[in-house]
Structure 1
């Protein structure tokens, strides 16, 4: 979710933004070192937690890029703390009342596989700070940092991380209606993040097709879409359409917190498709309290706000819905 996607509008330039903007381009962290080299146990534990097979060539899944830079519960070793410039940005926002923070976006680019034994170093820069934005959460600024991750001194990937530091919006007092109050506007769903790696997935949904990536190296199927194969590391792939049959593997019922454009309670399921991959989606055609693991479902499509399409899953059991 970028500032432009999340904000209801951009306020005019102000003194705070001018003070923040001078930090753009300054170092956020320098000379950082991973606490451990890339290693097989961490790769195995991550793959088990994510439900992915360990890549056949022993390399780390590309999406583990940030893992090797984390400090863990004990924090980073001396000399790898973030810079005073980044702390200054956060302090300026705190002083202005922007004391709340939410992570809004993460983008990664992978340039080479990471293999056991690789020593990880990294540097980070404050890449951008947005002008003041007014969002439903409140008013604040989006701060984006870019981390360049090196393996044995060679650039292996880039990690961009964006936060919103904001002053929480105060809920309106129903006992004091404003004279200039406007009619309520129907809330819209959050928009999906579409990028070069997943654009084909969203385009296919508009055609009422759910496309599964297939590695052309080893034939492994995968959802969600990824830039490369977790099984063998091959970057080449094609797609196969999902047949539509599936089974609820796991689910949650959302009761709280209520969110605009959603009407709780409702069920969100992790559905295992007949092809063996799993995908998240709402369950329809059955009351939320009747959803269960093992429920047979079939693929359906929901057009949201007349703008984009999502996969949903309808119960196929007789008498349900």
Structure 2
């Protein structure tokens, strides 16, 4: 296990330098922290079970901790000033120094290898894994940072947690004034939520059959190829070709100024997608023109994917 390296005070960095710093943090590998202040103990387990409304007697009877308590054992106290350095700290400081001061957790995935036992003193180890961005999101432009914490009892892993946050630049001044809600909001359901989640993260996602791999758009509950209801998604490259289009003049559309172009875009992944063609004079729009996806903030909550010209 490697040890964290001391760094200088954070300063303003380019996006490339932020990614270079992230690569260095990844290269540090897994960095061990200090052992938990207290061993796994019955009073804390009892308090947890009461707070969670968990009446399962097996934990206390067998001297085992609920798996979801893994992080509890190594969290600093309310007034604690001591903190282990980890591969995450320098990168978070650099993002803050570059104006990405907002933070929101986006993913938390836990894996349990075994129960922690009463009397064990767990040790956390942190591994930084990924930095993605900058991406335009509904909260603002930001970076997605991902790391994994593994809790060990001596050398045996007990549990691990993947944690991802969005570090974003909060909007200020007039940008912070609430916009009127865009009137043409898309319908979001269990079949389409993944797509709109991707748009908010700056990704163009295509639904994919988890069994046969068939791609489909618009999303649906069942694969038209093999009839499987198992589904996942892939992230498209974000480029395409204008397959066909119409120029809308009338009637008026709430939230839009006429005329505007609605196109069917053919993606190299093999599906077609409907969207507005923007950043191009209407008289220059034509079938076959190469396009790239762009994301437009329509109000404080809604981001829509649109299509702009690109170099062939």
TM-score after normalising by structure 1:
0.48
Larger radius of gyration: 2
TM-score after normalising by structure 2:
0.49
